[in-house]
Structure 1
Amino acid sequence: MNMESMTEGKKETFSPEDSCTGGGSVFAVQSEILRRFKDVYELFPGSFSIMNAGGKLIAWNRYMRDVIIGRPEGEMSDVDGMRAIHPDDRDFVMQQFSAVISLGADKTGEARVLVGGGPEYTWRAITGRKIEVDGEPCVLAIGIDITERQRLESLQALHLRMLELAEASSIEELVRIALDEAEQMTGSAIGFCTFITEELNNEPVQVWSTNASNHFRHAGMGEAGHPILRLSHLWDDVIKTKQLVIHNDYPSLRKRSGLPVGHDMVIRALVIPLMKSGEVTAIFGICNKAAAYTEADAGTASRIADCLWGIVTRKLAEQSEQRMQEQLQQSQKIELLGQLAGGIAHDFNNMLSVTLGYTEILLESIPETHPFFEGLEAIRRSTERSANLTSQLLSFARKQLRQMQVINVNEEVAVMLPILKSALGESIQCNCKPAIDAVRVWMDPTQFDQILTNLCLNARDAIGHSGTITIATGVKHVETSDIRSGFPCLLPGIYVSISVTDTGTGIKAHDLPHIFEPFYTTKEVGEGSGLGLSTVYGIARQNNGCVECWTEAGSGSSFTVYLPRYAKQESTTADTTPELHGKTTGSTILVVEDEPDILQLVTRFLENQGHRVLTAEDAETALAMVRDRQLPLKLLVSDVVLPGMNGVDMNQELRKEIPDLKTLFMSGYAPERIRQHGAFEEGVNFIQKPFAMKAFLKLIHDILEN
């Protein structure tokens, strides 16, 4: 290849010389000829430069001078061309430069080149070729701006990378990847993403770039100790306008009265709102670029934020669907477990009924000095405790009717305390501080026990290994002004308070709004159903009360349940319950029970009281007996669940024959379908198995007498 030029009327030829090391071609040229060709390479649409082996510029075009170096023509001689390369890419370019000089091989690469001395830069594809100028080895370099191409390739690579990582990575990890890329592509020093709403569920509400996190750690404050940006008013303008905002002179903004304590100074900021359903859900920001943020930076950061938010919202939707599936499965599991518990409790109650009934009859028939008396009394107490366990099973299975009665709260807590201490374990101390005033409520005792048990077990889990739980009762006068000020109960009045306070870890701020939600739990998978506090809340509301929570991270929690105080005076009349060995007026009673031992127990007991007792093991037999004999029945005592026709339907058929027939239902549990038949509306008599014989006798007496 020949290059020709006319110089002073002479034709000079520049011929290539074979390189002894690189096997390529090296052009030899004189510096005088380069000067004469300056008008030619001035027109080159990019940077053109020639540097000697030391990296000094000996030739350049206007683009190189004005855009890259940023100096006047008179200051260009002997400028170090390597100073125009971005510091992070300088070693790479110098290696390529040395290879061109020593090997004579053409080299092409991509690097960031500073604009006007920096800190702004552009990406350029640079091709270097060895030439000789005045016999000295030099490198001719040509650069083409590829910033836009590089930006698009980086964004595409980021998108593909995040798509690949989306399934296996947490939202926090994905956000940090996007922040790191936004920092790198814009030359920023800080990257952050803070969520305005509880969009991240159990994820952190604020995420920092790797660079920012490392800075916090080196500063000794830690990322967790850094101020939460959403708690300040730094970005109110972004939230209000819902538009991208650039602040290139942040300190001069008057409305910025100052950053939170511990926050680095912000010089420049570019902040992007992330939207969902027309509202700002999070803000994505980069700060402290060395130069002013440009529209190009805004476009780059917006593309990264859009890429991130598309993946995050899809992941959040998937997580939400997964939680719904898990809740459905959990609900189905609980329902199946409830059915199993209800069935077990029903059968167990039948057995306990026989044990408790005969034990009470024996205790009534022997004096307290009898050698068997203490043993029988122990059997009775043990049976009653077993009955309490089955009562809790039935409550869990939602198969138990509310049996409302007046409860002395202090007495009920005292009864529950030994059971609770056993459940809490030896390492946890349980104290009780009862109220001095009368604290009585009108509710189902089983529900009260549920409240106390759930709160104590929840406190135990919060404590962990060792600590203290304090149960306190009291009276709270709630005024209308209290409710207006945010007190959780809906009506003014006098309430009985039951509080359970622990010395545990407390509740984190982002968990606190969700603690009463069904299935919400901070425990590991398999360690909690998330139904304990929601059950407490539901029972309190069902009984016209409310629940209040106080907590402080690291200092424990206190849950207080408020229930309306029972205002009526307790009856002072004497107990009219007949003794078991006494006789009541004789009546004809039909007992229908499919469990033979219970049928025999009830029959013997009622006959002992002077009643005429007819028995049947199913509804069909009972109906046939009544229709055939035309008996003067006064009372039907029937199990609810019977083979074939149930006790409710049988009762309705018998009333067609005997309209004034009185009825007492008994059952180990009460199926939901019974409610649909109206069996347990107000005024219907019902006794839960197992029952004390005195209570059974009193109920029989009251029904027959009234």
Structure 2
Amino acid sequence: MSVENPEFGLLREFPEPVCLMNLEGAILDANEAFVSRLPETGADIRGCNIYELLASTLQSPEIATKRRAMVQQVLLTGRHISFDNEKDGIHWRYLVHPVRSAEGQITRLLVIVHDITKTKAEELQSRKDNLVFKALMDATPGSVIILDAAGRISGINRYAMEVFGKSESELYACDPFEIVHPEDRHVVREKFRAILERDIEETVEAKICVHGNPEQARWFIIHARKTEIDGEPFVVTVGLDIDERKQMEQALKRSRDRLDFTLEKSHLGWWEFNPVTNSTRRTLEHDRIFGYDAFLPEWSFSLFVDHIIDDDRAMVKNLCHQAMEKQEDFAFECRIRRNDGQIRWIWVAGGFQFDARANHYLMSGLVRDISKRKQQEERQEELQLELQQAQKMEAIGQLAGGIAHDFNNALTAILGNAELLAKKVPPASRFIEHIDDIRKSALRSASMTRQLLAFARKEIVTPKVCPIDQEIEHLLPMIESLIGSHIRFLWRPASGGRCVHMDPSQIDQILINLCVNARDAITDNGTITIETAPIIIKGGESTPGHPCRIPGEYVRIAVCDTGCGIDTRALPHIYEPFYTTKEPGKGTGLGLSTVYGILKQNKGWIDCVTEPGEGATFIVHLPAFGDDGAVIRSDEPDKTIISTSSATILLVENSPDILSILQGVLEEKGFSVLAAQSAGTAVRVASQHPAAIDLLVTDIMMPEMNGIDLSEKLEAARPGLKTLFMSGYAQETFYQPKNLYKKANFIQKPFNINSFLGMVSKMLASPRS
């Protein structure tokens, strides 16, 4: 039989059944996949009628007749048709396409059979998934709405229909944004556009009109995100009813507003800090105290610490750290630098909230600007300092000035000569011991001079971390000289290395005033004892009657005497200014009031235990600072390695004795020394010296020109010239008013030769400025 479609060979390897038939249903050609579906006919079915084959194979003439009728539709309409059939669990889809001749007439029919079993299964699964999705949406305890890119509703759950009071068809037809309350509608629209344009998630709180009535609006929190379905963008929204929560929040806000108003009118700022999340909550008054007119979004605990001035920062950190470790409340006063640059005093009090495991907590408390109160206290302190200054004898003031300077110069010469003499005397000489006694006496005199300068100096209080036992030990020689030889003096240190945070000169003033009062209470022979010890005051102990009103760790200093004691009638008045039990001319009544003021300034306490005729014990409690930060003071000779050199040094000293000694020791070490006894001579020597001068060593106090001006004048002519300053005055005398030189290039008289040579070596080794 001839093949009417010679091109059918292209379809023979087609994986799905394909056949070509004429208009009456006779098979013109078919591929193997098609033949295998009709096994009873054999391999060659060309010429067989497809309808007859179907009738015999399926044993159903009715099916064959229906298929013929379907094919007739192709002939009538000229368009292809498709129909599905299922057999033995396999779904087939038949496609019947008309094949036209060159003249456009339908001459043949092409039948293609597809296995759509998998597609049918996927469609079934899709229907099941849709049902599950719908069930999940309806089970969601919130409104679920799916919007297309145009803002039309594409999906909605039963909860939303119940809330909005509309049927599904009504909701699909309405504008979903009209459901939102008019006050929030604009915001919700903007969020919707942002989600589509920027592909982000958004959350917004808005009022939703229940049953379309704005008067019955309820608060919802709406979470929305963009998704794609079949390549098309959609926005999925889930709304949860938070109306009760919003009402509670509003009630809480009203309560907080009333509290904030009360705190603001009381000028109190409330704050809360979460160290775990590093987040804070505050009232506006809190931020105003720190100089901000509005809330500062980036406020944190570290920013609070940054506002504290440098001098108070370590103290605040230490107090907070101790409170956190002990889980105790805290309170302190410190200075801050406001945002506008003002220095203000604040009072801070608070505590910690711990969970059951004590590992998650909150810090909360109050803050208040106490600058006005502090100004009043500072004024009182100024008046007290003026009274205290008037109490000092004129001789001590003079000694703290020019006499102290000359005395230190003399001690420098004594020390220098003693050391030079010690080098020239054989080690086995019996004079070595006497020379060493001279050196020790000079050092002891220098220590007393320094203590006297510290006591008499009128300066700004500079708190430092001070080991209390070490500070008192440096004061002992001066105390012994004040109380006299007829009184036995006992020193019993037992603080265990405890430190306090206060000005060392204030410690000196406390002890000197207490020891002088103890001395005056002893008429003949007696004993004065100073004892130290650490002490912890617990909350239950700080009751009325106890000297310490605030619990905490303290250093206890007791000054005991065996004198006459204090009358019980006078005891309540002993800290009042100008109140004294001494005879006229023997006291001003300012000693104990000075002690009392210093202790109050440093948050300390004082108590007196006494009986008439049984002596008195003054007990001072100073807040312990902690174990960190040690102050090292030493009068021992410097152990710095001293190197010899051929450097040129211009030495300027108006004391010929000191000039001779220093010139000798420098030249002995190999230095080339240009010596001058005055500033004018030094300028002339420097101008006539053609070579370089490596170091200027000059006294500060000289008649013609002081050493600081001399250094500036020579440095202008010789840029980069290094200078080592010397003086019998304390360095702060020159350093505080003008920032003319650093502490690294100053040596105070009296000094030993090794210290001096070590300083010279250090200056020569340092880079030029």
User: TM-score, normalized by length of structure 1?
Assistant: 0.44
User: TM-score, normalized by length of structure 2?
Assistant: 0.41
Which protein is bigger by CA-based radius of gyration?
A: 2
